[in-house]
Each structure stands twice: as C-alpha cells, then as structure tokens.
Amino acid sequence: METKQIKVSDPNALQIAGQILKQGGLVAIPTETVYGLAADVWNETAVTKIFQAKGRPQDNPLIVHICDLVQLERLTRQISSTAKLLMKTFWPGSLTLIFPKSNEVPDVVSAGLDTVAVRFPSNPIAQEVIRAAGTPLAAPSANRSGRPSPTTAQHVWEDLNGRIDAVLDGGACEVGVESTVLDLTVCPPRLLRPGAVTYEQLQELLGQVEIDRAVCHPVEVGGKVSSPGMKYKHYAPKARLVLLDGSYEQYCAYVNAHSSPETAALCFSGEESGLQVQTVTYGSIQDDSGQARDLFDALRQLDGQNVSLIYARCPQPTGIGLAVYNRLIRAAGFEVISLA
Ligand code: AMP
Ligand code: MG
C-alpha cells in the first residue's frame, strides 16, 4: 500500500498523524536533527514494525522521543543530578541521554539492554505529533538501514514508500545529522555519538566527558560496543568513498591525479573550481553547521550520479565537525588517506 503523504500545512495533519500512531501505525516525522520513523513506545507490535520497515538489526536499540518531562518518569528508573543539569541546559534539543530503563519499557525498544535512550526534540512539529499521539514515540532515523539518514520527506519517500503508513512533510531538517548520544549510566559520562550538542559544550558543563573509542575508530569484529548502532556500516553511498586528509591544494592535486570519468568529489562549497571531476558540495570549510546540514543530502546526490569512486575532503573534527567526521568515516568504511 502506498504511504500517505501529509503536509504540515494541512489543518488536520497533526490529528491524522496522531490517530495513525494511536492505532499502532508508523509515521515518519520531521525533527530538528533528521526525520524519525515513529511508533507508540508502549506498543510492542508497532515498534517491531519499525525494525521490519527499515531492515534494522534487532540488536540496535531505538531512541524514545518525549514532549515533556513528565513522560520521562515512566521510562526511567532513575534521573541523576547530572541528567537534570543536562536536561535543563540542552532540552528540548538534539541531545539523547541514556538512562537506566524502567521495567515497563518493552525489550524490543531497548534491544534487550538495561538502559533506554531518550530525547526531547526542539522541533515544534515533532513535539505536537508526540502530544497528538498522547504517548512517547520510539523513533530511529526514517531511512532504510545502512542508507544516509533522511533530512527531507522526499528522502523518506525514496527509502520507505509502501513500507510505512505515512510521512509528515515538515520541510528540510535544520541540523541535518542525528542527535548527540551521551551515556549517563557510566562515570564519567561517555559520548557515544557526536551531534549538534558538541563534545566541547558537554565538557564545559560537566567537566569530564569521555569519547567512546567507536566514535572515531572501527569496531573490532566481535568486540563489545556501548552503542550497538556504531557497529554497522552506515550512511554509505553505493560508490566507494575515500576520505582525503590534507589542505585544499593537496586535495585538488590528489583528486585530479587519481580521477577517471567515474570519479566524483565531495568538497566544501567554494572549492569546486580547483577540481577536474564532477563535484557535490556540503557547506563551506568554516561552517561546520552547514556541513552537517548538507551532508546526507550530498551523499544521496552522489548516489544519483553514475560514479564508482568518491573522494571527500576531510572535515575538522571539532565542534559539530566531529559529528560530520564521524558520519563520513563510517560512510568511507574508515578508508582515510593522509596527504600531509
Ligand atoms: P538512530 O535513531 O537511527 O539514530 O539510532 C539510535 C542510536 O542510538 C543508535 O546508534 C543506537 O545504538 C543508540 N542507542 C539507542 N539506545 C541506546 C542505549 N540504550 N544504549 C546505547 N546506545 C543506544
Ligand atoms: Mg539511524
């Protein structure tokens, strides 16, 4: 069955989306980070359908989205003073916190872990959909597993048409990369996934924060991971992607010397002129927020071109740039060439 397309400009949009969710359906919803594929967190059958629609491995837990702090109480066993400080500072926003989970949270949501990931999104449409559904919503990114996350309703449609009940079109996402994930069940708190709430901001507020090794390094086969999502090859375009770490001049020289008609370059905007291959841009070099916003759309554009090899210029791994770097090295399967 074709997926229903709902525009937020439709006066009944929220009511329709809320109704589908209440009845155990799946709706892709806009958030400030990326589009999420939402289901009622308390409905195990509905949550199981998320894994089927995405082709998501069962051992990869979901993030639960709330629209007020009262909803947090039934999801968690304990809310520490550190959690309260983070919530006061960064919620609503693109920070996901890992809490000890309450017994009521279905195992399918947390993939059998004793913890639950929760986020209070700032996007007003996301908040209103949660309110209309009358329940927290379990929602991973609304892409087919392994594909770049969706930052527009069109991206969701490309991946999931016919597999979910509806997509609510609220325009392009502001942030463009998935939320920062911080584990509060360990001491010091551990950054499992970088996002728009930066490592630097967390460190300034909390003092000590550890960066999980999986943020910047491949996970060893069979190794233990704090965040199961980090295990999988992710965000990958169909072509081989290689990251080049060096100056603009070094990047252009390398790409131009190693190109064929099937090569493309993923570069910062304004840097196209030095390259003799087809280019797709993703924000300017000084603008890490712009890079984050454009990254997944750029990876999807590259999929639409007939190329077998993509050379991407390596971003600075600071600020939101750490999130961009984290996604790109996964898309590249950790293939980085240092030109320095
Ligand atoms: P997605 O919503 O598609 O961005 O995926 C959710 C991400 O959060 C994945 O990387 C998960 O591994 C991670 N995650 C969700 N719940 C937990 C949890 N309880 N502990 C650690 N990581 C989690
Ligand atoms: Mg995802």
Ligand 1 atom 23, closest CA = 227
- Sorted by where each begins, the domain ranges of the chain are 4-215, 240-338
Residue nearest to atom 5 of ligand 1 (CA): 140
Q: Which of 44, 115, 106 is nearest to 76 (CA)?
A: 115
Backbone angles phi, psi at 319, to 5 degrees: 60, -140
**Residue 336: DSSP 8-state:** E
For ligand 1, atom 12, name the residue with the nearest CA.
Answer: 229
77 CA to centre of ligand 2 in angstroms: 26
* 61 contact partners, CB below 8 Å, separation of at least 6: 109, 110, 111, 113, 116, 117, 228, 229
Query: d(Cα 318, Cα 96) in Å, to the nearest integer?
Result: 19
CB 61 within 8 A of CB 180: no
226 C-alpha to center of ligand 1: Å? 9
230 CA: nearest ligand 1 atom = 10
Residue located nearest, by CA, to atom 11 of ligand 1: 229
- DSSP letter at 148 equals P
Q: What number of helices (H) and strands (E) belong to the chain?
A: 11, 16
- Given this model, what pLDDT does residue 223 score? 65
pLDDT in tens, the chain (340 residues): 799 999 999 999 999 999 999 999 999 999 999 999 999 999 999 999 999 999 999 999 999 999 999 999 999 999 999 999 999 999 999 999 999 999 999 999 999 999 999 999 999 999 999 999 999 999 999 999 989 999 999 999 999 999 999 999 999 999 999 999 999 999 999 999 999 999 999 999 999 999 999 999 987 766 666 777 666 666 777 889 999 999 999 999 999 999 999 999 999 999 999 999 999 999 999 999 999 999 999 999 998 888 999 999 999 999 999 999 999 999 999 999 999 8
Give distance in angstroms: CA of 140 to centre of ligand 2: 5
In DSSP terms, which residues pair with 40 in a beta bridge? 137
- Tell me which DSSP letter residue 286 carries: T
Closest CA relative to residue 196, chosen from 121, 275, 279:
121
Retrieve residue 172's tokens: 């392009």
Alpha helices in the chain (DSSP H): 13-22, 44-54, 70-73, 81-90, 107-110, 124-133, 153-160, 199-206, 248-257, 288-304, 321-331
Pocket of ligand 1, candidates 60, 65, 95, 179: which has the most ligand atoms within 8 Å of its Cβ, to mutate?
A: 60
Give residue 244's pLDDT.
Answer: 96
Tell me which CATH homologous superfamily contains domain 4-215.
Answer: DHBP synthase (3.90.870.10)
pLDDT on residue 219: 78
Exposure pattern of 159-196 as b/e (b: 16+ CB <10 Å)? bbeebbbbbbbbeebbbbbbbbbbbbbeeebbbbbbbb
Q: Residue 143 CA: which ligand 1 atom is closest? A: 3
Distance in Å, CA 197 to ligand 1 centroid: 16
Atom from ligand 1 closest to the CA of residue 116: 19
In one-letter notation, the amino acid at residue 144 is R
Choose which residue among 118, 192, 330 to substitute to test ligand 1 binding: the one with the highest number of ligand atoms within 8 A of its C-beta: 192
Within 6 A (CB) of ligand 1 lie 60-61, 63, 98, 110, 113, 115-117, 140-141, 178, 181, 192-193, 226-229
Q: What is the C-alpha to C-alpha distance for residues 62 and 41, in angstroms, rounded to an integer?
A: 10
Residue to probe by mutation, ligand 1, list 227, 231, 296, 330, most atoms within 8 Å of CB: 227
Q: How far is CA 321 from CA 29, 32, 186, 282, 309, in A?
A: 25, 17, 25, 12, 23
- The CA 85 to ligand 1 mean position distance, Å, reads 21
> Distance between the two ends of the chain, CA-based, in angstroms?
53
Name residue 208's beta-bridge partners.
none
Cα–Cα distance measured from residue 177 to residue 194, given in angstroms and rounded to the nearest whole number: 9
Cα-to-centroid distance, 7 and ligand 1 (Å) = 28
* Closest-approaching ligand to the CA atom of 33: 1
Residue 42 pLDDT: 98
Nearest alpha-carbon partner for 25 in 8, 43, 2: 43
Nearest alpha carbon, ligand 1 atom 21: 227
Q: Looking at the CA of 101, which ligand is closest?
A: 1
**Tokens describing residue 305:** 């071109």
CA–CA gap between residue 179 and residue 193 (Å, rounded): 8
Atom of ligand 1 nearest to the CA of 36: 2
Beta strand pairing call for 36-40 and 115-119: unpaired
How many whole angstroms from 152 Cα to the centroid of ligand 1?
21
The whole-angstrom separation of Cα 155 and Cα 304 is 12
Amino acid at 209: V
CATH architecture for segment(s) 240-338: 3-Layer(aba) Sandwich (3.40)
